[in-house]
Amino acid sequence: MVKRKPNAARYKHPLPIHPIELPPLIPHNPISWIYWTYCYFTGINGLTDKVHVEFFNDKYVHIIVKDESQMIYLWEHGFFGTGQLSRSEPTWKTRTNNRLTADSDTHGKELEKVTQHRRLLRLEFKKQREKLEQELLELRRNGGTIEQEKELIEYQRKSLREYKSQQSSKEIIPQEETIRDIDLPLFTDDGKLRQLESLELLPVEAMFLTFALPVLDISAKELTRRLMGYPESYTDIHDFISQYVVYHHYRSHGWCVRSGVKFGCDYLLYQRGPPLEHAEFCVRILGSNDVKDYNWYSSLARVIAGANKTYVLCYVENLSSPENILRWWHKGNYRAIFSSYKVGEVTYKRWIPGKNRE
C-alpha cells in the first residue's frame, strides 16, 4: 500500500506530459548556468514508457489500460479514464484490500466511501424526521389547535437542526468484515490480491492522448481505424469530430473535461479535477445550424440547475467542406481537420421575473 499523499502533491501535474524541471538560474554563479543549460538540453517532455492500451470488442470498441501503475498515472495526471469497477478513480483493489484485511489504519477517504457514509447519515436523518412527523400527526388526531401545532413544528425544527449538527461531527466507523469463501478466488497462489479492474478511456480521451499529447503507444491513425474503420461518408465521422473539437477546446484552456452522462449532457468541466471540487459547468454540443425542440433545452436546463451547475451550449461550426474533411481523414491529417472547426458558446439560464426586480 502506498501511503496517502496530500492532494496537492498527488495531483501536481494537470497533464500526463510534464514540463522540464529546470534548476534555479543564479546570475552570478556561472556553474548554475552550465547546469541549467545541461538540464535544458537533456530534458525531454515526452514519456520514455508510453502507456499501453488494448482494444476490446470489435463493433463497440472499448479502449482499456490494464497496467496498474499506468492506470494510476493517467488518473493522477489529468483525470483521464474511468475505473471499470469504481465510480471514476480506479480504486477497486485498494477498497477490496481494505475490506478483506480489515486494516482500519489504511481505510482511506476514497470518494466511494465518503458518499456511502453521507448517504447513510442522510437515511438516518430521514428516519428521525419521519418520527417527528408521526408526532405531529398524533397531535392532529387528538384535536390539537393550530397554535399548538405551530409550537410543535417550531420545536421539531430546532431538534432536527441539532440532530444534524451532531451527526456531522460523528466519525466514520469502519465496518468489520472477514474473508468469505466467495472472496477466495480474488487471491493469487502466493496470497496477493489480483487486480481485476482496468481503466477505460473515452474515444475522445484516447484521441487527445495520442494526437495532441504522445502518451499512448499507438498512433492517431491506428486509433481512429479501430474506432471507426474506413468511413465512407462524412456523417460517419461528424459526431466524433465535433466531440473531439469541443473536448480539445476545453482541455487546452486548462479544464479537466469528464463525461457528463450523469447530468444528461456531453461534458462536465472541472477547474482541476473531480476529487478537488464539484464541476461547475455542463456542456452540451450542438451544430451551429442545429435546432431542437424547446423541451430538449428546457428539460436539460432544469436538471442542470437542480445540480447547481451552469448550462453551456457549445456550438460547433464547420468551416470546411465535408469532402475536404473526409480526404484529410483518410490522409491522417487530423490537425487540418480539427482546426477547421470553430466553437462558440452560450449559457442558458431560466429567468425568474420575481428574482430579478432589483
Partner 1 sequence: MEQDEEQDIKFDTTPDSDVEDDELIQDWSQAAQLSIRSSTLPKRGEKDYEPDGTNVQELLLYRARKSMFDTLSNSARGSVVKNLVKAYYDPSEHKALILKPRGNFLHTLGKMDRTGTVWLEFYEFVYLAERGTITPFYKMNDIDWINQELPLTIEDLYMLFKSQEELDKFFVFGHLKRLGFIVLSTENCLDSFFEPRGENSSKRILSNTWNLLPQWRKTLHNAIFYSPWKFWLNKHTSNSQMYQSLNQLIPSYKAPRTQEELRKTRAGIAEKPSNFPISLNVWKPRTDFKKKNPGLPDYQVVIYNKNDPNQHFPTYYELRKIFKHLDYKFEFLSEIDETWDWNDHSYHDGKLRSKTIINSKAKVSGTKTTTDTKKLEKKKPKKKFKPKSPRVQQKIRLKNGFRSFLLAVMDDGMISFVKISETDFGSENVWYVPQSAAKKQNL
From edge to edge, which strands make up the β-sheet containing 310-318? 256-259, 267-270, 281-287, 310-318
Q: What is the dihedral of CA 279, 281, 286, 291, to 10 degrees?
A: 130
Q: Which is nearer to partner 1, 195 or 259 (CB)?
A: 259
Q: Answer yes or no: 113 catalytic.
A: no
Interface pick for partner 1 out of 168, 291, 306, 323 (rule CB under 8 A): 291
Q: Answer yes or no: 309 catalytic.
A: yes
Interface pick for partner 1 out of 271, 299, 320, 321 (rule CB under 8 A): 271
Phi, psi at residue 51, to the nearest 5°? -75, 130
Catalytic member of 11, 247, 270, 341: 270
Q: Is 127 in the site for partner 1 (CB under 8 A)?
A: no
Catalytic member of 93, 248, 249, 309: 309
Burial of 268 (0-12, 13-18, 19+ CB in 10 A): buried
Q: Which three three-digit cell numbers place residue 333?
A: 491529417
CA-nearest of 94, 73, 92 to 83 is 92
Q: Which three three-digit cell numbers place residue 254?
A: 486548462
Piece in contact with partner 1 (CB under 8 A), picked from 60-68, 158-166, 185-193, 313-321? 313-321
User: Measured from the CB of residue 276, what is the shortest distance to partner 1 in angstroms?
Assistant: 9
- Fill in the per-residue mask, 227 to 246: x = in contact with partner 1 (CB under 8 A), - = not in contact: ------------------x-
Tell me the CB-side half-sphere exposure of residue 25, using CA atoms within 13 A. Answer: 10
**Using CA atoms, how far apart are residues 31 and 122, in angstroms rounded to an integer?**
62
User: Which of the residues 160 through 219 are near partner 1 (CB under 8 A)?
Assistant: 211-214
3-state secondary structure at position 182: helix
Q: Answer yes or no: 155 catalytic.
A: no
Q: Which helix (H) or strand (E) holds 161?
A: helix 146-168
User: Measured from the CB of residue 191, what is the shortest distance to partner 1 in angstroms?
Assistant: 39
Q: Which is nearer to partner 1, 104 or 219 (CB)?
A: 219
Q: Which helix (H) or strand (E) holds 302?
A: helix 294-306
Q: Is 48 in the site for partner 1 (CB under 8 A)?
A: no
Q: Is 251 in the site for partner 1 (CB under 8 A)?
A: yes
**Using CA atoms, how far apart are residues 91 and 274, in angstroms rounded to an integer?**
14
User: Which of the residues 322 through 351 are near partner 1 (CB under 8 A)?
Assistant: 334-335, 338-339, 341-351
Catalytic member of 126, 278, 330, 349: 278
Piece in contact with partner 1 (CB under 8 A), picked from 86-94, 170-178, 230-238, 283-291? 283-291
Q: Is 36 in the site for partner 1 (CB under 8 A)?
A: no
Question: Any idea which residues carry the catalytic annotation?
Answer: 270, 278, 309
